[in-house]
Amino acid sequence: MQVTVNGAPAELAQDATVADLVAERAGGHDRVAVARNGDVVPRSSWGQTRLTDGDALEVLAPTAGG
């Protein structure tokens, strides 16, 4: 399926969940937030939230700075 992740087109498996996306894209970061079509997806529902063709997703990780 085709989705948009952080503004870029991406191809994911038809049965992908938010948890699958985070595992693939977050590079081992355990502190990320995900928004799907403008709505934050609670971490507790990542495994049950199936993605659909055309979804717009933002995967955000905090950064340290100074």
Pairwise CA distance, residues 34 & 48, whole Å? 14
pTM: predicted TM-score of the whole model, two decimal places: 0.87
> How many CB atoms sit inside 10 A of residue 37's CB?
12
What domains sit in the chain, N to C, each tagged with a CATH number?
A: 2-60 (3.10.20.30)
Q: What is the pLDDT along the chain (66 residues), one digit of tens a residue?
A: 999 999 999 999 999 999 999 998 876 667 899 999 999 999 999 999 999 999 999 998 877 666
